[in-house]
Amino acid sequence: MARREQSGPDTGEDGMMGGRVDRRRFAVPLLVVVLLLASLPGPAAAETRLRPTVTVPADETMTEDLTAAGASIVVLGTVKGDVTAVGGDVIVVGEVTGDVSAVAGRVTVAGRVGGSLSAVAVTTNVSGTVDDSLDSIGGRTTVSGRVRGPVDVIGVLASVERGGTVAGPLQTTAIRTEVNGTVREAVGESPGTAPANASRVGVADRLGPSAHAPKSARPTGPHLLPPVTVVSGSLSPAQAVSPLRLDVSFVDVYGFVANLLLGVVLVGVFPRFSGRVADLVDTDPVRTGATGLGTLLFVPVVLVLFGLSLFGLPLALVGALLFWTLGWVGAVYGRFAIGVWLLSAGPNALASVGVDVAPVENRWGGLFLGTVVVAVLLAVPYAGRVVDLVVVALGLGGLTRLSYRAYRATERAGGTTGPSIGQVEE
């Protein structure tokens, strides 16, 4: 990115980049906030248990929702409602008729979950049955049982073991994806009866020795299971999906408007600080993005560790809320920075071929352009998640670096009142 001149206090360009709300996926900060806030005591229809080990005995049937926090949360009996858990181990051996939401080191479903399973964990294993969807963020996610709905995985390894079944679409953002069982098994449909080019599962980059995936499930376009996919089971796609079909919903439109409104507030109230964030993204995008990515990975882990303690749980709740807010602000600033860069990139490109065009210095134009461009890119299948992550990382990285510079400047002042963040020189 070319360096941009700072025009003055009131013309600082802002780097705003808003993250789109994706209805099929949840960003790490937002999910942590939702799950941790859900662990607060709720209305009378829910029971809250906070202790080192929380157990629902095999002969017990709960007729209300369960909210639990502890080192281990084990459901051996029946919970006729939802389960929200924060702990080291979350294990369901019995039955939960509603949804299960868990933040833990290990999440195991060996029994039955009547609703959906949402997990943020180092390892997530489904050897039982999940009647609805599975959403997982973590290191390793394994399905050796049955999931009757869609499966969304963000992590290092996603695996459908031999004998495991996913009756809905499988979507992963993982270093390695292994399909040794059955994916997308439609009722009354065998693997060979699906229409040609109907796969929503990007099939084999490399097929296993016993692979018998149908040719109709081997798309020639972009794969949805990057970057290493091993398939030795059966794939039974159920509907055609255009590889370039834009996926836009009311939630996406609402997110676009909310990001734009927050950007107007930030750019209007803090024009100089917004301009400095955009400058950091413009002049040092790699370092700024790396700082933001590190913040995205490190802070949620610290919050979860705090949440494992009864005394640290309130701090984790407050910290998670603050981190989600900063993440949104960073996302909006990321959009803004991209828009400002685009406004200057055009004239710079023309100048390189001898056409002299004055650079556009308009923070409102940069905000609107960046918000629109990022929103369009987020609606493109396959690329949306990557764009979302880059945008948030750039904006949050700019915020983090400027905050650190302000802290250093205050320390150098010997504890006296130092410059504000907006006054820190780049």
Pair (372, 254) in one structural domain? yes
Pair (181, 323) in one structural domain? no
User: What per-residue string of b and e applies to 32-64 under the rule 16 or more CB within 10 Å gives b?
Assistant: bbbbbebbeeeeeebbeeeeeebbbeeeeebee
Pair (333, 225) in one structural domain? no
Could you tell me if residue 21 is inside a domain? Answer: no
Could you tell me if residue 48 is inside a domain? Answer: yes
Could you tell me if residue 14 is inside a domain? Answer: no
Pair (396, 326) in one structural domain? yes
Full strand arrangement of the beta sheet holding 234-235: 61-62, 78-79, 95-96, 112-113, 129-130, 146-147, 165-166, 182-183, 234-235
Could you tell me if residue 85 is inside a domain? Answer: yes
Pair (228, 255) in one structural domain? no
Parallel/antiparallel/unpaired status of strands 83-92 and 100-109: parallel
Pair (140, 281) in one structural domain? no
- Letter for the amino acid at 333? Y
Of 246, 397, 260, 257, the C-alpha closest to 335 is: 260
Could you tell me if residue 372 is inside a domain? Answer: yes
Q: What is the pLDDT of residue 333?
A: 93
Pair (204, 324) in one structural domain? no
Q: What is the pLDDT of residue 109?
A: 96
Task: Quote the pTM value.
Answer: 0.45
Which of 201, 235, 269 represents a domain boundary (last residue)?
Answer: 235
Could you tell me if residue 11 is inside a domain? Answer: no
Question: How many other C-beta atoms can be found within 10 angstroms of the C-beta atom of residue 3?
Answer: 11
In tens digits, the chain (426 residues) has pLDDT values of 444 444 443 433 333 333 334 434 444 444 444 444 444 444 435 688 888 889 999 999 999 999 988 888 999 999 999 999 888 889 999 999 999 999 888 999 999 999 999 998 888 999 999 999 999 988 889 999 999 999 998 888 889 999 999 998 888 887 788 889 888 743 333 333 333 332 334 333 333 333 334 444 443 333 334 344 455 555 554 333 333 444 556 667 778 888 899 999 999 899 899 889 988 888 888 999 999 999 988 888 888 888 787 778 888 888 888 988 999 999 999 999 998 888 887 777 666 666 666 666 788 888 998 999 888 888 777 777 888 899 999 999 999 998 888 888 887 776 544 455 445 444
Which of 209, 235, 261 represents a domain boundary (last residue)?
Answer: 235
Pair (283, 375) in one structural domain? yes
Q: What is the pLDDT of residue 202?
A: 37
Could you tell me if residue 102 is inside a domain? Answer: yes
Pair (137, 272) in one structural domain? no
Q: At what angle do helices 28-38 and 313-352 cross, to 10 degrees?
A: 160
Pair (36, 118) in one structural domain? yes
CA angle 226, 229, 234 (to 5 degrees): 130
Of 67, 69, 70, the C-alpha closest to 81 is: 67
Q: How far apart are CA 235 and CA 395, in angstroms?
A: 40
Pair (277, 364) in one structural domain? yes
Residues contacting 176, CB < 8 A, separation 6+: 156, 157, 158, 228, 229, 230
Number of domains in the chain: 2
Range of 335's domain? Answer: 250-423
Could you tell me if residue 214 is inside a domain? Answer: yes
Cα–Cα distance list, 239 to 195, 245, 272, 282 (Å): 8, 14, 51, 43
Cα–Cα distance list, 151 to 131, 173, 259 (Å): 11, 11, 28
Which of 187, 209, 235 represents a domain boundary (last residue)?
Answer: 235
Pair (337, 386) in one structural domain? yes
Of 188, 228, 194, 226, the C-alpha closest to 213 is: 194
